[in-house]
Chain A
Amino acid sequence: MDRNGSSLNTFFRMRQWAIGLLPVSFLALLFFLPVFEILKEASSYSLSPVREILSSARFWEITWFTIWQSLVSTFLSITFAFPAIYLFTKYEFKGKKVLRSLITIPFVLPTVVVGSAFTAVFTRFNLDEGSINLRHTVWAILIAHIFFNASIAIRIISTYWDGLNDNPENQSRILGTGKIRTFFRITLPRLNPALFSAATTIFLFCVTSFGIILILGGPKNSTIETEIWRQAIWRGEISTASAFAVIQLTFVILLSWGLIKAEKKSASSEELSRARRKKPLKRTLTFHFTYLFCLFGLPILILLERSLRLDGSGLFAFFTGLTQRTNIIPITPIASLWNSLRFAMLASLIAALIGLAASTVIVHGSKKLSTFLNVSTSIPLGVSAVTIGFGIFLSFTGPLTNLRSSQLMIPALHALLGIPFVIRSVVPTMRRIPTLLYENSQLLGVKPIKSWFNIDLKLSLRSLLVGAGFSFAISLGEFGATSFLPRNPDTLTAPLVIYRLLSTPGQELRGQAMALSVILAFITSLSIFLIEMVRKTD
């Protein structure tokens, strides 16, 4: 683990501030400054609301619920992802790449669509009344969180596992240890860095989960996130909302700091190599496909069914209807898709660029800067959209005023949420590049910047693309933070149009909303597929 001797480290230590400047200034503008303004706003109301809230039983109820549902959701998402992780790591089969890109679909589906799809699943299987009642329960929330977040675990962990050889496992098996024991005693600890990486991201995602809690949790379940929104937007109690925001911020910082420490500690000096993959038996494949279907299939099937016109005339009428503008929305739904795509492209490029710079500093830079960047790039995921949105309103004054309603803010905010995915995916890979490679390259007289390019970038390109793919998907589906930015009719994104279509009664509008979601999902998996085609090269 100690790589102080490496020439690359010395090289980057000297230049870490120059390289770190890009991510730090990006964060400063879009995150620190807005959050600082909100804190200032909160303190201007005197600290009494914080004290008042801390002493109310309801607050502790909400906080406790937020923490435990996030922890349980994270644990379950990773656990349920494992069979799929195993499939993608250990087996080589036809259509693997397609399947891998398909599992990102849950990630971009607007929560209002997924929420109603789950409600429909519950209704169809009679799970909303009688002996098994999932309606408005924590179970409904957990199931939906698994649906949304399992793909994060699958992608992050399988990408990492893919680069581990089988030697320790083989030795353990030779020594007579059982398959299951070997997995728990040998494989799992080796996967720790990726496990923590995925857990941090999923946890933060569950803390700020909004639509799922509101729609599937019903009126009786509130989290800090929904409470901030309710207080700020509905009750107009900005001071109470800011107090909740402060508390959310504090505990998100503490938790991500802890998880990132754990991730770093667990980073081993594993050699980066490639495990051997085998062709699965037909039976194995059938099992895995059935499993994936159970995990992701039902809500998506409901969505597909709703996007089609099943009365016989014009099965795809809702799809063709998307090219026409309806009265209630200023642009055609198809045009909104193009907006989303443009924003997503820009956002994932910004995220990849800044994420790569930050990852380099995190891996090679000094301990302090490394931890700072690692934690501060992650917390935007766990901070309420209300905090960031209102913070931007408050802080972007004077010369920044025009930026507030600028088009560039949308991809920039999306990138802010995409960067942690790039980092969570690149850092574990970069950390285990053998020091030997740098030393050899130094011996050969290769310039440090060139060896970074040849070693770090090349060997983590795969992970970088996985991260970029994620930020692309996030941008396509993002609704929270951007819903706080002022937008003009020409820049409406597809998720916003889906929400608008669903807010007026009428089967035609509803069908179109579903059709647009299907196209959004299709485009996402196609883009992820294309992005990952580049991986062929390694």
Chain B
Amino acid sequence: MTRVPDLDNASGGIVKRYIKLPIAIIFLSIFACGSSETTSNEIFESSVTLLTHDSFAVSEGLFETFTDETGITVEQLSLGDTGQLISSSILTKENPIGDVVFGVDNTFLSRALDADIFSPYVSSLNSKIIDGLIYEESGHVTPIDYGHVCVNYWKSSFSDSLPPPSSINDLLDPTYASLLVVQNPETSSPGLAFLLASISHFGSNWKNFWKLLTQNGVSVTNDWESSYYGEFVAGGGKKSLVVSYASSPIAELIYSDPPVEVSPTAIIEDSCFEQIEYAGILKNSKKRTQAELLIDFLLSRRFQEDIPLNMFMMPVSAEASLPDQFEDYPMIRNNLNTITPAEIENGRNDWTEIWTETVLR
């Protein structure tokens, strides 16, 4: 019987003391979040929402220059990788989360166009865009940047006696057996791009290429990180060839640690596939004018010149000057026989299934 009053006394002090604090924090936190929301409502009138994938990045204060010129604030929302960005935008077509989508690439473009989520806009700055990047004249989407997925190699793994492969064909050479790691085209964007590179390079013979590549000991991971940082030399792995980007050697140089003079990696030029990233105005956006101004801004020299060092892609504007590190970006644009977005959308599920059969089974 003595236990009950005992509890009574004890809890009065202890429990209350420890419960009050969290409750106070809850209210404070809710209050804090609430107040930040009201400030964003005040500028609601003149804002535009830019939906991007996770790799989107700009220099600090870049969008402020847009706000200074137009009075429009840019709200940035990122939505995962490109696939997720497209699927989410299609799913929310009727009631979009934002006004402008940036980051639809040519491998996903047709899916977005088929779902009819964009409304056309032809910017006056389109004339500045490098030839061959504009997909269709009606202007449902506007190209903003481009880059390449290529086989990279770790320079010091090769020597005079074992020179690095010089072409995609060399990958089948037994000299380079078990040195290459690629990504699964069913789960990774560079993986899909390299499959497309092989299709545009070998035509109908591409299955044979993969069959021979498999016999030559190609290694497959599901994601880029596992390839590059798991199996490639850069992350302590054993493979000296990896599917990555044409800009990866530049990033390796800029973010090298300890600093180095020359990039430790290089690319095999004829293994590349061109990726073009587009922006478009969502059909059900209620901020048409602001959205158009934002597309113009994405094509402006200031934004275009900001792209390389933040997103490791190339600007589409012929006017934009490149930072020093990108001066040597390989001129691979013109000798690629790429596949059109429509062909990609029609073929991809079949191709990846055949690929799975050939390489994994």
Q: Which residues of A contact B (CB under 8 A)?
A: 112, 115-116, 119-120, 123, 214-215, 217-220, 226, 230, 232-236, 238, 309, 311, 313, 317, 325-330, 342, 345-346, 349-350, 352-353, 390, 393-394, 397, 401, 404-408, 437, 440-441, 444, 446, 453-455, 457-458, 461, 483-484, 486-489, 496, 499-500, 502-511, 534, 537-538
Contact = CB atoms under 8 A, between A and B. Distances in A.
B310 A510 contact: no
A408 B36 CA distance: 11
Contacts of B226: 115-116, 119, 215
Contact of B360 (A220, A440, A486, A537): A220
Contacts of B57: 327-330
Interface stretch (B86-94, B271-279, B293-301): B86-94
Contacts of B256: 506-508
B18 A537 contact: yes
Contacts of A408: 33
A390 B97 CA distance: 12
B252 interface: yes
A123 B78 contact: no
B252 A505 contact: yes
A396 to B, nearest CB: 9
Contact of B84 (A233, A325, A406, A487): A233
Given A313-B258, A457-B11, A342 B77 contact: no
Contacts of B86: 236
A205 to B, nearest CB: 20
18 contacts: A119-B230, A215-B225, A309-B257, A311-B258, A325-B60, A326-B255, A349-B29, A407-B37, A446-B8, A453-B15, A457-B11, A458-B7, A483-B84, A487-B78, A503-B55, A504-B312, A507-B234, A507-B257
B91 to A, nearest CB: 5
Contacts of B111: 236
Interface stretch (B139-147, B158-166, B167-175, B216-224): B216-224
B38 interface: no
Contacts of A353: 26
Contact of B187 (A230, A406, A537): A230
Interface in B76-130: 76-81, 83-84, 86-88, 90-92, 94-95, 97-98, 111
Given A440-B1, A486-B78, A489-B76, A507 B255 contact: yes
A372 B184 CA distance: 41
Given A327-B59, A345-B29, A401 B95 contact: yes
Given A123-B237, A236-B111, A441-B4, A506 B77 contact: no
Contacts of A484: 79-80, 84, 88
Contacts of B356: 219
Contact of B36 (A226, A326, A407): A407
B25 A393 contact: no
A538 B29 CA distance: 29
B4 A352 contact: no
A227 to B, nearest CB: 10
Nearest to B79: A486
A330 B78 CA distance: 11
Nearest to A442: B4
B252 A327 contact: no
A121 to B, nearest CB: 11
B222 A486 contact: no
Contacts of A116: 225-226, 229-230, 235
Main secondary structure of the interface of A (DSSP, over half): helix
A238 B84 CA distance: 12
Given A437-B4, A489-B76, A534-B18, A406 B186 contact: no
B331 interface: no
B56 to A, nearest CB: 9
B153 interface: no
Contacts of B51: 486
Given A215-B221, A444-B5, A488-B75, 17 more contacts: A115-B226, A116-B229, A123-B237, A218-B220, A219-B186, A309-B257, A327-B310, A346-B29, A397-B95, A437-B3, A454-B8, A455-B7, A458-B15, A486-B88, A502-B229, A504-B312, A505-B252
Contact of A234 (B60, B187, B360): B187
B322 interface: no
How many B residues touch the partner, as a band?
35 or more
Interface of B: 1, 3-5, 7-8, 10-11, 14-15, 18, 22, 25-26, 29-30, 33, 36-37, 51, 54-55, 57-60, 75-81, 83-84, 86-88, 90-92, 94-95, 97-98, 111, 184, 186-187, 220-226, 228-231, 234-238, 244, 248, 251-252, 254-258, 265, 309-312, 348-349, 356, 360
A405 B77 CA distance: 8
A236 B87 contact: yes
Contact of B4 (A217, A440, A499): A440
A126 to B, nearest CB: 11
B137 to A, nearest CB: 26
A349 B22 contact: yes
Contacts of B309: 327
A452 to B, nearest CB: 11
A410 B98 CA distance: 18
A502 B225 contact: yes
Contacts of B60: 325
Contacts of A112: 223, 225
Contacts of B231: 119
Nearest to B58: A330
Nearest to A507: B257
Contacts of A503: 54-55, 224-225
Nearest to A348: B22
Q: Which 10 A-B pairs have the closest CB atoms?
A: A506-B255, A486-B77, A233-B83, A508-B257, A507-B257, A508-B255, A219-B184, A119-B230, A505-B251, A458-B11
Contacts of A489: 76, 78
Contacts of B221: 215, 218-219
B310 A219 contact: no
Nearest to A500: B54
Nearest to A129: B238
Contact of A394 (B36, B80, B91): B91
B250 to A, nearest CB: 9
Contacts of B251: 504-506
Contacts of B7: 437, 454-455, 458
A177 to B, nearest CB: 32
Contacts of B4: 437, 440-441, 444, 446
A479 B10 CA distance: 41
Nearest to B236: A120
Most buried by A among B90, B187, B311: B187
Interface centre among B36, B78, B349 (most CB of A within 10 A): B78
Contacts of A214: 187, 222-223
Nearest to B238: A123
A54 to B, nearest CB: 20
B60 to A, nearest CB: 7
A509 B228 CA distance: 13
Nearest to A302: B236
B146 to A, nearest CB: 17
A124 to B, nearest CB: 9
